[in-house]
Amino acid sequence: MAKLKIKKGDLVQVIAGARAERGGDRGKQGKVLEVYPERNRVLVEGVNRVSKHRKPTQTASGATAGGIEIHEAPIHISNVMLVDPKDNKPTRVGYREETVERNGRTRKVRVRVSRRTGEDI
């Protein structure tokens, strides 16, 4: 399983598929709600919305109303790109190693860096 460069809470932009004016999601930005590394998919807020038809059910605790529910479905991680916090444009992700001293011990820490501007993410 490959290490993913997108994490929960990141702001991403959809870079593949139909454009928004044609009913698609390309160009839309949203926050990552969930990451599924085993399937290489991410759940993005407001992107890839699907409607699910629910049947009304009767359980011991009470009745649940049926109807059409709309919620997000996972999208493949290759179809999204991280948004640079400095200029709100999609960017590639790089890593930089820093040595940090804590409690008298030196450690190497990997920091995510925007390839576009060089800023820390």
Distance CA 29, CA 12 (A): 6
Residue type, 81: M
> Which pTM was predicted?
0.84
Per-residue pLDDT tens digits for 68-84 = 999 999 999 999 999 99
Tens digit of each residue's pLDDT, the chain (121 residues): 678 899 999 999 999 999 988 989 999 999 999 999 999 999 999 999 999 999 888 877 777 888 999 999 999 999 999 999 999 999 999 999 999 998 889 999 999 999 999 999 8
Place of tokens 């454009």: 19
Give residues with Cβ within 8 angstroms of 38, minimum separation 6.
Answer: 1
